[in-house]
């Protein structure tokens, strides 16, 4: 019977809960706009104003995105709704934190990218050690058979212990995590930080859908012209985002040809639909889908649903005359559907086919496309697909 110090157990168990509490505190607000508790009311109406951060982003038509270069605005948009991604990171803009960790060389407070790099380095080292042990065991068994005529099991010592390491028993040695920073010199950390301050080279990259949602639905983002750095009006943003999917020779702010099947409009309908339902919507290109839906955000749990946007023309003649070749507009094959479904079922995500009905030009006048009021003429239908797995669905 082993005795365990209750103090050490309580300290060990309190670390995960403290980390979860800190994460919940940082990501407590689901949107950039904060509605504080009402301090006073008049005739039953609250007179407290919401707190609007009013962030700024620079439009980049080439990458079809908006860049938030201010680190404070980037932190607000990420921590309050998980908008955008760091251009030098997997998701959260943590490039500067990785550089600071690499400079201090303390190995504490690793970011998600550093944890992944460390895990991959350990897995690579384990495979090398196992291959070396297997080769040595095979050579030892061959020598024993030739010299003594004994047949021994490769990888088994005379006392019955295994020589070849397994994933459960192998312990990693000191492995250096690949760093983007140059090798450290002998200068003390305090002096090096004063002499060579680290400049934050990362910016938060917003998709056009995320940027328009922040501009139009929340009114907490200002988009600047890429050449003049002047703020764009809502009408100019409306035209610029649609022109981003036109020819690169088209003027940025010119009025695009009115089309209900503009790729920006179709994708934004799906993005706004799920954002308005309270989901955190992120890109799903990693899993061969358009969007991923998180209940609270990537730092809390994995995505529950994978969304494939399928445009459907109300009038087939509009599709025949369209200059756009929308993805998934043609009837899909069963092999494609099986592939997408299998990929997402392996990562425990439910696949949803989101059908966006594009209104017919013969029914809705094109002048409706002059403003976001045209969104009312679209419709969204959803079909949930689940792959039958006998071992998991016996109940």
Candidates 60, 55, 56, 58; CA nearest to 252 is: 60
- Could you tell me if residue 183 is left (phi over 0), alpha (psi between -120 and 50 degrees) or otherwise beta? beta
pLDDT band at residue 108, thresholds of 50, 70 and 90? low
pLDDT band at residue 137, thresholds of 50, 70 and 90? confident
Q: What is the CA radius of gyration of the chain?
A: 28
DSSP labels, 358-387: EPPTTTS-GGGGGSGGGGGG-EEEEEEE--
**Catalytic (active site) residue 313:** no
- β-partners of residue 323 are none
Burial class (CB in 10 A: 0-12, 13-18, 19+), 277: exposed
Q: What is the pLDDT of residues 301-321, one digit of tens each?
A: 999 999 999 999 999 999 999
pLDDT band at residue 46, thresholds of 50, 70 and 90? low
Q: In terms of DSSP bridges, do strands 305-313 and 291-294 run parallel, antiparallel, or are they unpaired?
A: antiparallel
Burial class (CB in 10 A: 0-12, 13-18, 19+), 344: buried
Per-residue pLDDT at 2: 43
- CATH entry, 260-395, from 3.30.450.70, 3.40.1350.10, 3.40.50.620, 3.40.50.1820: 3.40.1350.10
Encoded tokens for 291: 């969007």
Candidates 323, 329, 326; CA nearest to 257 is: 323
Encoded tokens for 357: 């009905």
Candidates 297, 264, 265, 291; CA nearest to 278 is: 297
Per-residue pLDDT at 183: 47
Per-residue pLDDT at 124: 86
**334 versus 256: which is more confidently predicted?**
334
- β-partners of residue 41 are 46
**Catalytic (active site) residue 54:** no
**199 versus 80: which is more confidently predicted?**
80
Given the residues 349, 355, 377, 378, select the one marked as catalytic: 349
User: How far is it, in rounded angstroms, from Cα 47 to Cα 213?
Assistant: 26
Per-residue pLDDT at 1: 40
User: How far is it, in rounded angstroms, from Cα 175 to Cα 196?
Assistant: 27
In this model, does residue 67 exceed pLDDT 90?
A: yes
Q: In what order do the strands lie in the sheet with 305-313?
A: 280-283, 291-294, 305-313, 350-358, 379-385
- Mean pLDDT score, 99-109: 67
Given the residues 11, 124, 295, 302, select the one marked as catalytic: 302
- 42-56, 67-81, 120-134, 173-187: range with lowest mean pLDDT: 173-187
**82 versus 251: which is more confidently predicted?**
82
Q: What is the pLDDT of residues 269-300, one digit of tens each?
A: 999 999 999 999 999 999 999 999 999 999 99
* Helix (H), strand (E) at residue 71: helix 71-79
User: How far is it, in rounded angstroms, from Cα 331 to Cα 326?
Assistant: 12
pLDDT band at residue 186, thresholds of 50, 70 and 90? low
Q: What is the pLDDT of residues 321-344, one digit of tens each?
A: 999 999 999 988 989 998 999 999
Per-residue pLDDT at 344: 92
Candidates 26, 145, 44; CA nearest to 92 is: 26
pLDDT exceeding 90 applies to what percent of the chain?
A: 49
**CATH class for the domain made up of 50-90+202-256:** alpha beta
In this model, does residue 197 exceed pLDDT 70?
A: yes
Given the residues 27, 294, 313, 378, select the one marked as catalytic: 294
Alpha-carbon torsion, ordered 203, 207, 208, 211, to 10 deg: -60
Please report the beta strands in 214-365, taking only residues with DSSP state E, as ranges in sequence order: 221-224, 280-283, 291-294, 305-313, 350-358
The SS3 of residue 211 is helix
- 62-76, 88-102, 241-255, 299-313: range with lowest mean pLDDT: 241-255
Tokens 């960790």 label which residue? 101
**Catalytic (active site) residue 302:** yes
Per-residue pLDDT at 97: 84
Per-residue pLDDT at 105: 60
pLDDT band at residue 204, thresholds of 50, 70 and 90? very high
In this model, does residue 12 exceed pLDDT 60?
A: no
CA geometry: angle 296, 302, 304, nearest 5 deg:
80
Q: What is the pLDDT of residues 208-220, one digit of tens each?
A: 999 999 999 999 9
Per-residue pLDDT at 40: 65
Per-residue pLDDT at 3: 44
In this model, does residue 255 exceed pLDDT 90?
A: no
Contact 60, 206 (CB under 8 A): no
Rounded to the nearest angstrom, the gap between the alpha carbon of residue 56 and the centroid of all alpha carbons in its chain is: 21
Per-residue pLDDT at 144: 75
Contact 68, 56 (CB under 8 A): yes
In this model, does residue 172 exceed pLDDT 90?
A: no
Per-residue pLDDT at 242: 92
In this model, does residue 240 exceed pLDDT 70?
A: yes
- Mean pLDDT score, 20-30: 91
**92 versus 35: which is more confidently predicted?**
92
pLDDT band at residue 247, thresholds of 50, 70 and 90? low
Candidates 320, 324, 318, 281; CA nearest to 303 is: 281
- β-partners of residue 352 are 307, 384
Per-residue pLDDT at 174: 60
Per-residue pLDDT at 182: 45
């Amino acid at each position: 019977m082993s005795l365990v110090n209750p103090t050490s157990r309580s300290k060990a168990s309190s670390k995960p809960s403290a980390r979860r509490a800190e994460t919940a505190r940082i990501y407590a607000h689901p949107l950039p706009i904060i509605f504080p508790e009402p301090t006073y009311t008049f005739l039953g109406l609250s007179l407290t104003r919401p707190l609007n951060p009013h962030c700024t982003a620079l439009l980049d038509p080439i990458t079809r995105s908006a860049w938030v270069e201010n680190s404070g605005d980037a932190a607000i948009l990420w921590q309050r709704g998980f908008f955008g991604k760091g251009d030098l990171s997997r998701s959260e803009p943590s490039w500067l934190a990785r550089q600071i960790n690499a400079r201090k060389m303390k190995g504490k407070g690793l970011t998600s990218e550093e944890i992944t790099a460390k895990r991959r380095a350990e897995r690579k080292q384990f495979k090398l050690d196992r291959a070396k042990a297997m080769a040595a065991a095979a050579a030892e068994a061959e020598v024993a058979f030739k010299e003594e005529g004994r047949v021994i099991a490769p990888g088994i010592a005379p006392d019955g212990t295994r020589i070849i390491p397994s994933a459960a028993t192998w312990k990693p040695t000191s492995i250096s995590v690949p760093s983007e920073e140059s090798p450290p010199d002998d200068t003390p950390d305090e002096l090096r930080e004063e002499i060579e301050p680290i400049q934050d080279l990362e910016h938060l990259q917003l998709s056009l859908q995320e940027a328009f949602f922040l501009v139009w639905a929340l009114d907490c983002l200002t988009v600047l012209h890429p050449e003049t750095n002047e703020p764009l009006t809502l009408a100019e943003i409306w035209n610029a985002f649609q022109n981003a999917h036109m020819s690169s020779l088209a003027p940025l702010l010119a009025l695009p040809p009115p089309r209900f099947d503009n790729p920006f409009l179709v994708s934004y309908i799906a993005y706004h639909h799920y954002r308005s339902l309270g989901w955190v919507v992120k890109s799903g290109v990693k899993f061969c889908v358009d969007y991923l839906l998180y209940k609270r955000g990537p730092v809390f749990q994995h995505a529950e649903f994978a969304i494939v946007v399928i445009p459907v023309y109300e009038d087939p003649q509009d599709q025949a005359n369209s200059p756009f070749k929308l993805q998934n507009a043609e009837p899909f094959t069963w092999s494609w559907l099986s592939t997408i479904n299998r990929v997402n079922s392996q990562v425990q995500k439910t696949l949803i086919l989101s059908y966006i009905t594009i209104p017919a030009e013969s029914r809705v006048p094109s002048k409706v496309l002059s403003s976001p009021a045209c969104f009312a003429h679209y419709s969204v239908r959803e079909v949930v697909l689940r792959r039958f797995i006998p071992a998991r669905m016996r109940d």
